Structure 1
Amino acid sequence: MLGMLALQVQAAEPKTAEPSKPKPPATSISAKTYSADLMQLYRESRLEDPRVLASYSRAQSSKEQQREAFGGLLPQVSISAGKNRIHQENELITQSYSSENYALQLSQHIYNKAAWENYEKFKSLAKQAGEESKEAQAEATVDLAQRYFAALAADDELELVQAELRATQKNLDRVNALYAKQLAMITDKLDIQARVDSLTAQEVDARNQVRVTRAALSEIIGRPVTERLSRVRDDVELKVSAETLDSWVQLATVNNPQILASQHAVEAAEAALRGGKGGHYPTVSLNLSAQNTNEGYNNALAPRTDSYVAGVNVQIPIYSGGSTSARVRGLYQDQITAEEQMEATRRQVVKETTNAYLTADSSVEKIRANRNALSSAEQSSIAADKAFSYGVVNAVDVLTATQNEFKARRDLLKTQYDFITNLFILNRWAGKLSEESVDSVNIWLSNNSKTDSVPQRNMKQ
């Protein structure tokens, strides 16, 4: 991380002329020539983010529980074997002998409503876990995007502060030279000096923020993220899709993983309720058994005998102390709870989708306005600098114009990052966040060596 910061500082400092020397051929990839984009970090996080891995494990566990419940509906087969040594004594005889027995048993539910509904419940719970896993992955993707652009914003802020500091220091040097000739006021000198000191303090904070944001990004990637991050290209048009807000809301209510998980939770609660009512129903099962033994009544030695038994068992519940009815009433309340939670989730999804769409849509206009503001601020800064050279304006006016320019640059970058982040949030609530959507956003990013947050004009001031 320290090496990365040193590289950024070196890249932000003014260039100096050096003797022309042939450069040795590159033998390795350095942080200057290598940058990481969002897609690369996304693929790494799929394999390293504990939240994603845990959600996948929960989904797999639910599938196995569904399979376990289904196994209760299939034939249950068991085999047993035993060998005993028996010693008997009575008035007529005393004897010792060995007995053997072998048995094969099979039982199969013919009608068992509780067992069937139990399987239906776990089938719905498995679907619920699958949708919750998708939601966890979508949430992790949004978190990754937020941390990525927070780290990118921290890098930009450091470079912007350094560039503004150099520009302000240049103005201070000019004012000091004029003040030495008694051509500038002491107030101008003190104002600019105060701004230089303030920017120096901001640079310290910006360096620390770079470390903090990189640590947050490294947390979910599972390794230190020291390479440079790809910035937003200057030649792309950021915009939301042509679909209306109603279309997005309708899409969200159909495809959002949280809503689908809530629907499956209601289905599971309904199946559990039906299973509870099944405690009042009779059960019918088929039993088959085969036995081979030489042991008779009271462990007496008998001729080896093969026995085959086929039977149908019918069990009718009559009274269980009211426990079955109480369980049914409790399961009915669980069903109502699941239904209300589903409605709360639906309302939340509608609200979040609406907020994300409106925020992203307004950000497009805000980006356009900030670009115009930046263009105006740049022209104003250039004009103030020239006017100061002719003595038309004072140094404070130049300082103000410089501050306005860098503020406009910060506002533009922040608006772009906020727009992309809100676009991820919108796709998440609409149930459209996937690797393809990440890749479509990643196209807006370019190699860091070709995109600079600080223009060359400010670098040479």
Structure 2
Amino acid sequence: MWTSMFKLSTLGVCLLVNANIAMAANASVDLWALYLESRDTDPRILRAAALERSSAGRQREAFGRLLPQLNANANFNRSQRDDNLTRSQYDGQGYALGLSQLLYAPQAWRSYQKFSALTRQSVFEHENARIQASIDLVERYFATLAAEDELRLVQAELAATERNHVRLEALFAKKMAKVTDVLELKARVDLLNARSIEAANQIEINKETIAELIGRPIEQPLKRLATHPDFLAPQNDQVFWVTTALRSNPALQASEQALDAAQAAVAEAKAGHLPTLAFDINAQRSDIGYEGALTPRSDTYVASFGLQIPLYSGGSTQARVSSLYAELDAAQQEHEALRRQIMRETRTAYFNIEASLSRIAALELALASAEKSRSATEQAFSYGVMNAVDVLDSIEMEFRAKRDLLQSQYNFITSLLVLYRWSGRLNDTDVRRVNSWLVPPS
């Protein structure tokens, strides 16, 4: 009896585990889950974080050169001395402690300023990499949804075309339809079969682009856009978004820090013409004399100021200054090009948002009209009023309207996040808002 109960319990546990595994395999994944996963796995984000840590270390290294430098030294030796009459052997030891502090070192100070600017640049570049990775994920996610829409719509169009093809063959058997119409519908069916194969392949390709960002295959179905999402245009006007982008875009802020670093590099090179003043304190205890000779132990204390004045370096200092001025000019031109690009991209995203909303409203009306037209055309075809070409055209028009409507909705979402991306305001809240428009696939 107990053996039977144990077997039943084991069977129940196995069935429960298998059911949970099946549910997990069939569970859909949404944009937010992929977004959180990509933050820890996208190589671009991880690389930018590593470069930020590296820049912080270099800044600390440059700062360390400005601080006091303390060094200790110890010597232990054994000496043997031979002369004509005697041989002597003795041990000696010496200790030294030195402290050095730069009092005036313009080159070291400007080097620290340069690395400070480079560290700030790496911080903004890390943020820019995170934002760009988020946009890439969103675009690839909705590109995959668009490919799934294409397959679904092609299959629906194929089913409608096959239905009318069967109807037309029945009419042809009664000599109530032309053979050219039958052949045209058959050709359309074959074409749609080919398109469905291509659409299925495109889904797998687009899923691979998402897998590239998160480092694993996408096996779960993706959540889809709700039927009637609550789309709203941004409240502020175009001027506001352009102004915000020029003030807050992390790529532009990184470019500004690159300019500061280039200017500091020029100043560092110019400091090669300036003197350096240092203060040194040294303490020494030793019983080692000249050529290792044993002497009474002595303590020595020295405090000194050292002034170093560069006089001539073969023209290398001035050549370095000229080279860095050219690099500064290149950085300024790159900064200006980026500023113009940000203005253009921000305006383009704003225009695309407005156009997408208008296009969505127009396509909703167009879809309703196309559905009515297709239904009326099929009914007229059954009465012999319309021919097969008219039916094909009405079906194609309906599914084109559905496809265009879905694509316009995706364009609105991506344009909205692109606007936030260029303005430097894209954050987790924006991604969660878009994710709220998604529902599990039916």
TM-score of the aligned structures, taking structure 2 as reference length: 0.93
Q: Which residue of 2 aligns with 1:458?
A: none
Query: For residue 183 of structure 2, what is the amino acid of its counterpart?
Result: L
Is 2:285 the partner of 1:289?
A: no
CA displacement at 1:168 relative to structure 2: 0.8
Query: Residue 208 in 1 paired to residue 201 in 2?
Result: yes
Q: Which residue, out of 163, 182, 190, partners 2:183?
A: 190
1:239 equivalent among 232, 240, 253: 232
More deviation, 387-396/131-140: 387-396
Alignment of 1:130-279 (within 5 A): 130-279=123-272
Q: Identity of paired residues, percent?
A: 45
Cross-structure match for 1:9: none
The question of whether the paired residues in 2 share the 8 Å contact of 1:114 and 1:279 is answered with yes
Q: Distance between the aligned counterparts of 2:252 and 2:62, measured in 1?
A: 25
Rounded Cα–Cα distance in structure 1 between residues aligned with 2:69 and 2:348: 55
Q: Which amino acid aligns with 2:293?
A: A
The residue type equivalent to 1:287 in the other structure is D
Q: Which residue of 2 aligns with 1:89?
A: 82
Amino acid across the alignment from 2:412:
F
Q: What is the correspondence of 1:50-449 to structure 2 with a 5 Å cutoff?
A: 50-91=43-84, 93-449=86-442
C-alpha contact (below 8 Å) 2:26/2:220 kept by paired residues? no
Letter in 1 for 2:341: Q
Per-residue CA distance 1:82-135 (angstroms, 9 max, x = gap): 211111223564311111111111111111000000000000001111111112
Residue type of the partner of 2:124? E
Q: Could you tell me how far apart the structure 1 residues matched to 2:20 and 2:310 are?
A: 81
C-alpha contact (below 8 Å) 1:232/1:446 kept by paired residues:
yes
Root-mean-square deviation over aligned CA pairs:
1.7
Question: Matched residues in 2 for 1:57 and 1:190: separation?
Answer: 63
Secondary structure (helix, strand or coil) at the match of 1:383 reads helix
Q: Which piece of structure 1 moves more, 300-309 or 69-78?
A: 300-309
Q: Which amino acid letter does the alignment assign opposite residue 330 of structure 2? A: T
Report SS of the residue matched to 2:23: coil
CA distance in 2 between counterparts of 1:32 and 1:164 reads 29
> Are the equivalent residues in 2 in contact too, given 1:88–1:95 (CA < 8 A)?
yes
Structure 2 equivalent of residue 6 of structure 1: none
Deviation by residue 1:334-380 (Cα, 9 ceiling, x = unmatched): 22222222111111111111111112221111111111111111111
- C-alpha distance after superposition, 1:158-181 (max 9, x if no partner): 111111111111111111111111
> Does the CA-based 8 Å contact 2:380-2:386 persist in structure 1?
yes
Q: Does the 8 Å contact 1:31/1:228 carry over to 2?
A: no
Q: CA deviation at 1:433?
A: 1.7
After superposition, the Cα gap between the structure-2 partners of 1:168 and 1:365, relative to the gap in structure 1 and judged at 3 Å, is: same
What is the DSSP-based 3-state SS (H/G/I as helix, E as strand, rest coil) of the residue aligned with 1:136?
helix
SS in 1 for 2:177: coil
CA distance in 2, matches of 1:318, 1:61: 35
Whole-Å separation in 1 of the counterparts to 2:323 and 2:57: 26
Residue 306 of structure 1 and its aligned partner are, at CA, apart by 2.0
Question: How far does residue 51 in structure 1 lie from its aligned partner after superposition?
Answer: 1.1
Residue 321 of structure 1 and its aligned partner are, at CA, apart by: 2.2
C-alpha distance after superposition, 1:390-421 (max 9, x if no partner): 33323332222111111111111111112212
Q: Which amino acid aligns with 1:240?
A: A
Secondary structure in 1 matching 2:78: strand
Distance in 2, Cα, partners of 1:56 & 1:434 = 17
Secondary structure, counterpart of 2:295 in structure 1: strand
Is the contact made by 1:239 and 1:361 (CA closer than 8 Å) also made in structure 2? no
Amino acid at match of 1:88: R
One-letter identity of the residue aligned with 1:167? A
Q: Over residues 17-57 of structure 1, what are the superposed CA-to-partner deviations in whole Å (9 max), with x where a residue is unaligned?
A: xxxxxxx9854443785111111111111111111111111
Corresponding letter in the other structure for 2:90:
Y
Structure 2 segments unaligned to the other structure (5+ residues): 1-14
Distance in 2 between the 1:336 and 1:193 partners? 66
Q: Secondary structure at the match of 1:242?
A: coil
SS in structure 2 at match of 1:414: helix
- AA matched with 2:417: F
Cα deviation per residue 1:279-307 (whole Å; 9 max; x = unaligned)? Answer: 12111111111112111233210122222
Q: Is the 8 A contact 2:285 2:297 kept in 1?
A: yes
Bigger share in helix: 2
Q: Which amino acid aligns with 2:277?
A: V
Please say if residues 106 and 288 of structure 1, whose CA atoms lie closer than 8 Å, have aligned partners that are also in contact. Answer: yes
CA distance in 2, matches of 1:43, 1:342: 32
Indicate if the aligned counterparts of 2:48 and 2:126 stay in contact, CA closer than 8 A. Answer: yes
Find the aligned partners of 2:119 and 2:146 in 1 and give their Cα distance: 41
The normalised TM-score by structure 1 is 0.89
The SS at the match of 2:314 is coil
Distance in structure 2 (CA, Å) of the matches to 1:127 and 1:27: 48
